[in-house]
Structure 1
Amino acid sequence: MPFSLRRMTSLVSRQGLTWFMVLVLAILVVAPLLTILVETFRLGANGGSAWTDVLASRLTKNLFLVPALNTLIIGFCVASGCVLLGGFLAWLVVMTDVPGRAFIGFMATLPFMIPSFATALAWGSLFRNGRVGGGGGLLQGMGLNVPDWLSWGMTPTIIVLIAHYYALAFTVIVAALATVNGDMIEAAQMTGASRKRVLFGIVLPLVSPALIAAASLTFAAAVSNFAAPALLGLPVRMQTLSTRLFGMIEIGQVERGYVLAILLIAISAIFLGFGNRVLNGRKSFATITGKGSRPRRFELGSARLPLTILAWIICLTTTVVPIILLIAASVAPSSLALFSDWTLHYWIGEASSQFARGQAGILRNPHLITALGTTIVLGLCVALAANALGILIAVALTRQKVRILSNLVSQLSFLPMLLPGIAFAAAYIALYGAPIGPLPALYGTPLLLGLALTAAMLPFAVQTGRATVAQISGDIDEAARMTKAGFFRRLGAITVPLAARGLIAGLLIAFVNVIGDLAITVLLYTPSSPLLAVLSYSYASDGFHQFANAVTIIILVISMLATGAASLLRGRRRNIPA
């Protein structure tokens, strides 16, 4: 019987697609995590296990206790700061009469698009005191004595991560505030309740699920962040679990690194689980009813102007100011004087003993050209692969009614969101870094990097896919099925075109995350497959801050171009006649 696409697609049943997704997710997510757990129980050269070395030896304090304490402090401080900052801006945008609400809301979402290492580099350009190496920053050049605690270590790491992740908290909280029934607020005000009482007695309790969710997500993101503590903490020997994990694997103590990865995953999971338990323990969060409601805004009165200025300062200092500092620091011979004696040598200059120990500008560096091409190709491939899997998973979850399997697929597809990136990379090294039967070892190949990043991007792809597929009526798919159109035929002719706008958003999110990722790529890259984010980190670690800033600007430009292209495509899709 001759093979045909229709015969093949006819074999795809409702359960068949779901089972196939379970298999794919097992390979991409479950197997690496199980492997990393098994590897930790191998006996070391001295006959002891990695667990004993990390948790019950003379090395425990430096290997685990101190890094874990630093990690928890960073996580709790960042979560608290993000909820306060993001919640404040969300309250202004949704529930007050502050002018320029749309602009503030737009600016408040941008910091998450800027890689955390870019914000860390900008902080160094301003506050670095030069006592560790690599020269001082702008404030020191102005004659100010910048203390060590403001230049390096815990404080700048926390501030940088709050500036980066508060956009995530803002996005979660603003959506919850938008559902608060304005009639409830108006009724409370009619009974004489003050604005303070309304805010703390009605609004905050109603949106507490969003506050808890925002705190959980920002905590998990902060404890797994590698770039900020590496750039701002390692120079003064401040270790977190992510930087210690990286160090262990770099020096070949992989089993100890795997133990730290599991412990890092456990810390994130415990905090996220605690948040879910709090939410499950309360049932009185309903803010959306069948009745229509109108928004009710607080009149700020005399506080309107100060709060507006404060909101603008927050938005500008976390978006525009870092970019300006990065640009200035990429053309200034010394960060002590960022806005004088600018030169393009660090961009296009030939090798000269007067600059950067004889290194040529980055655009003359063949490693940059290679890294640029590799990064863009990797970003596109991962975005396409992740969203292809995402749309298949979305179809399996939305169109198919196999409850147990669907729940399993849903949980597995969301799991990478809960896993620290650097721990996820370690898991991929554990499983695919060595040969598996006839399959060769993938360590050192772009394929391993692509697989890990694809798995890490799945939660974003699945969520955008589900949001769009759920809006497509099942009657359309059923009508096509009655005409004997195969699964892939229906997918390509109906689902993908109708879900195009959501898919474009998913592609953009995955692409921007990949080109700015450092947590996963810093462990999996090789000299044969350099990446822009790793190149920027390497320059910064070696003290070549101008080059690091220049490479970071290239990453930001690519991100902005991708965002603009996605917006243009969405606009064209909107203008296509039905």
Structure 2
Amino acid sequence: MDFLRRPGLVPTLGVLAVLAALVLAPLLTIMGQTLGSAAWGDVLASRLAPNLFWRPLANTMLVGSAVALGCVLIGGFLAWLVTMTDLPLRRVIGFMATLPFMIPSFATALAWGTLFRNDRTGGGAGLLQGLGLHIPDWLAWGIVPTVIVLIAHYYALAFTVIAAALGSVNGDLVQAAAMTGASRRRILFGIVLPVVTPALLAGGSLAFAGAVSNFATPALLGLPVRMQTLSTRLFGMIEIGQTERGYVLAILLIAVSALFLGIGNRLLAGRRSFATITGKGGRGTRMALGRAKWPLCAVALALCLVTTILPILLLLAASLAPQSSALFSGWTLHFWTGAADPAFARGQPGIFQNPQLLTAIWVTLGVGAAVAVAANAVGLLTAIATTRWRIPFLSETANQLGFLPMLLPGIAFGAAYIALYGAPIGPFPALYGTPLLLGLALTAATLPYAVQTGRATIAQISGEIDEAARMTGAGFFRRIGAITLPLASRGLIAGLLLTFVSVIGDLAIVVLLYAPQTPVLSVLSYRYASDGFHQFANAVTLLILAISVIATLAANMLRGRKESPE
């Protein structure tokens, strides 16, 4: 009976119910619908299995492993320069190294095509072939460009994780090694790298998980030459109505991601000498680069510029040029505002003349705002349940469910939502093709970000304030509205921004769940690109980036007002 009287029991049970409906139920449904199904044999052991699973699996593992390695190398290199050396312009480079993840991967893929696309698949060639250069197929399409684009997108994750670890390296270790005459190379490879092994594995794991679940890049750069990954094959099965095979592929894709993350955790568990922070350690002097200072600065700036500014400039030029092969001549606004003309762009009007665009803008903004509010509300409640009340078993279960979507590929998550909510449930109608289903799936997928933001915010608010309000008779929701929300406003704004930006650029989930009557900007861009209308796709992608920038600036202004003294 004492357990039933514990403070926070009822709200915690409510949070668990919401998390079960958003996260657990779709996964259990997708597993239940494939039990005893012939789809397992079709995917794994039939004569179709090589094309359905084994070749896509090999491509997926190759892409994921190459991207993980590339991200650790590039992200670790930049993190070392910014954190531990006397590199000039460190702050600028550190800021720019975090930006690529905010640019949707399909934007970078479109920019790659603008430069390197050849005429193998028909349609217009890219700029380099237009200049008379021969672009081999392996550079224009398939595994190589997919890996390069995904490294350019995900290395920011590895940089963030590794930079944080390097920032905590005990300066006494480096100083002691330098005093004994150790070279810079020996210090780097003998001291620094071993002690940041957990960060290297974590950064590689995140990059691998992101790469194997990414749909947009392999779809744009691989499908035209029939290069399939598990994510694109899954999408193809759902699209042609072979849902059970698609669900099996979704389960296998989840298993691949979980297996790799489990291997990383096991490697970490086998090492115990990672301690880098002691009671007396301090930050030592930065490593002097000597004559290599400016050359390394130029390399770091070039990496950042190529992965942030260059793709945007290429997309802008390509949205104005009638042909990608002549990128800087004959610019026109037709692809933005032009009326339909049978003699131009196969009669396609500019994006602002397309009636679907305005609908897509409002649907995207509406879904993005609704998901940001819903996900952060659930995230805040989950954070309270897991950090303030700490009810045995229940709080830990809520914590695990809140972070589970981080391990699930987006396109597999979308398939799970089709399995559960795509058909009627009792008196409730089927949600497939409605904005509600899209919003629910995106809310669940963004929960890890919201929960993490909520936990960081709640940790800054003393529990004594909430307890004092409870003793005066204030109810739970009264305390949330009068105490938690005002005090947590700065953190919540950051969480809302992160969720909103990730939603409006998402393609992996929405490509399965959108419907013609509920278009979104990311799918509109993908459809334009798939149909060969690259200028229109570039224009829509730039619109998505503009909305992201405006949202970021607005959030910064709101946070600035919150921080200003009264």
1:36 aligns with 2:30: yes
1:443 aligns with 2:437: no
Provide the C-alpha distance between the structure 2 equivalents of 1:565 and 1:175, rounded to a whole number of angstroms: 27
Provide the C-alpha distance between the structure 2 equivalents of 1:508 and 1:296, rounded to a whole number of angstroms: 36
SS at match of 2:446: helix
Counterpart in the other structure of 1:55: 44
* Deviation by residue 1:139-195 (Cα, 9 ceiling, x = unmatched): 011110000000000000000000000001111111111101111100111011111
Mapping for residues 61-460 of structure 1, pairs under 5 Å = 61-291=50-280, 293-460=282-449
* Farther off after superposition, 288-297 or 542-551: 288-297
Counterpart in the other structure of 1:557: 546
Counterpart residue type for residue 353 of structure 2: R
Q: 1:174 to 1:184 in 2, by over 3 A?
A: same
Q: Displacement, 1:295?
A: 3.9
Q: Displacement, 1:576?
A: 3.7
Q: Displacement, 1:12?
A: 9.6
Q: Displacement, 1:225?
A: 0.2
Counterpart residue type for residue 31 of structure 2: L
Q: Displacement, 1:355?
A: 1.4
- Does the CA contact (< 8 Å) of 2:505 and 2:522 recur in 1? yes
Provide the C-alpha distance between the structure 2 equivalents of 1:454 and 1:88, rounded to a whole number of angstroms: 34
SS at match of 2:301: helix
Q: Displacement, 1:496?
A: 1.3
Counterpart residue type for residue 20 of structure 1: G
Q: Displacement, 1:205?
A: 1.0
SS at match of 2:430: coil
Provide the C-alpha distance between the structure 1 equivalents of 2:47 and 2:106, rounded to a whole number of angstroms: 33
* Deviation by residue 1:472-496 (Cα, 9 ceiling, x = unmatched): 1111112212222111111111111
- Does the CA contact (< 8 Å) of 2:171 and 2:281 recur in 1? no
* Farther off after superposition, 248-257 or 285-294: 285-294
- Does the CA contact (< 8 Å) of 1:223 and 1:242 recur in 2? yes
- Does the CA contact (< 8 Å) of 2:494 and 2:555 recur in 1? yes
Provide the C-alpha distance between the structure 2 equivalents of 1:42 and 1:208, rounded to a whole number of angstroms: 43
Q: Displacement, 1:499?
A: 1.2
SS at match of 1:478: helix
Counterpart in the other structure of 1:5: none
Q: Displacement, 1:42?
A: 5.2
- Does the CA contact (< 8 Å) of 1:41 and 1:50 recur in 2? no
Equivalent of 2:15 in 21, 38, 41: 21
Counterpart residue type for residue 203 of structure 2: A
SS at match of 1:517: coil
* Deviation by residue 1:344-397 (Cα, 9 ceiling, x = unmatched): 001011111221111111011110010011000100000000000011011111
- Does the CA contact (< 8 Å) of 1:329 and 1:549 recur in 2? yes
Counterpart residue type for residue 562 of structure 2: R
* Farther off after superposition, 545-554 or 436-445: 436-445
- Does the CA contact (< 8 Å) of 2:7 and 2:389 recur in 1? no
Counterpart residue type for residue 58 of structure 1: R
Show structure 1 runs of 5+ residues with no match.
Answer: 1-10, 44-48
Q: Displacement, 1:212?
A: 0.5
Provide the C-alpha distance between the structure 1 equivalents of 2:514 and 2:565, rounded to a whole number of angstroms: 42
Q: Displacement, 1:135?
A: 1.0
% same residue: 70
- Does the CA contact (< 8 Å) of 2:454 and 2:492 recur in 1? yes
* Deviation by residue 1:51-93 (Cα, 9 ceiling, x = unmatched): 0000111011000000000000000000000000000000000
Counterpart residue type for residue 122 of structure 1: A
- Does the CA contact (< 8 Å) of 1:183 and 1:296 recur in 2? no
Provide the C-alpha distance between the structure 1 equivalents of 2:232 and 2:361, rounded to a whole number of angstroms: 26
Counterpart residue type for residue 83 of structure 2: V
Provide the C-alpha distance between the structure 1 equivalents of 2:199 and 2:257, rounded to a whole number of angstroms: 18
Provide the C-alpha distance between the structure 1 equivalents of 2:353 and 2:157, rounded to a whole number of angstroms: 37
Q: Displacement, 1:292?
A: 5.1
Counterpart in the other structure of 1:570: 559
1:531 aligns with 2:514: no
Provide the C-alpha distance between the structure 1 equivalents of 2:513 and 2:390, rounded to a whole number of angstroms: 38
1:515 aligns with 2:504: yes
Q: Displacement, 1:202?
A: 0.9
* Deviation by residue 1:446-470 (Cα, 9 ceiling, x = unmatched): 1000000000010000001101111
Q: Displacement, 1:318?
A: 0.2
- Does the CA contact (< 8 Å) of 1:12 and 1:487 recur in 2? no
* Deviation by residue 1:84-139 (Cα, 9 ceiling, x = unmatched): 00000000000000001000000000000000000000000000012112210000
| TM-score of the superposed pair, with normalisation by structure 1 | 0.96
- Does the CA contact (< 8 Å) of 1:35 and 1:431 recur in 2? yes
Q: 1:356 to 1:186 in 2, by over 3 A?
A: same
Provide the C-alpha distance between the structure 2 equivalents of 1:484 and 1:291, rounded to a whole number of angstroms: 47
1:494 aligns with 2:483: yes
Show structure 2 runs of 5+ residues with no match.
Answer: none
SS at match of 2:181: coil
SS at match of 1:174: helix
How many aligned residue pairs are there? Answer: 563
* Farther off after superposition, 554-563 or 496-505: 496-505
1:479 aligns with 2:473: no
SS at match of 2:532: coil
Q: Displacement, 1:282?
A: 1.8
Provide the C-alpha distance between the structure 2 equivalents of 1:339 and 1:196, rounded to a whole number of angstroms: 45
Q: Alignment RMSD, CA only?
A: 1.2
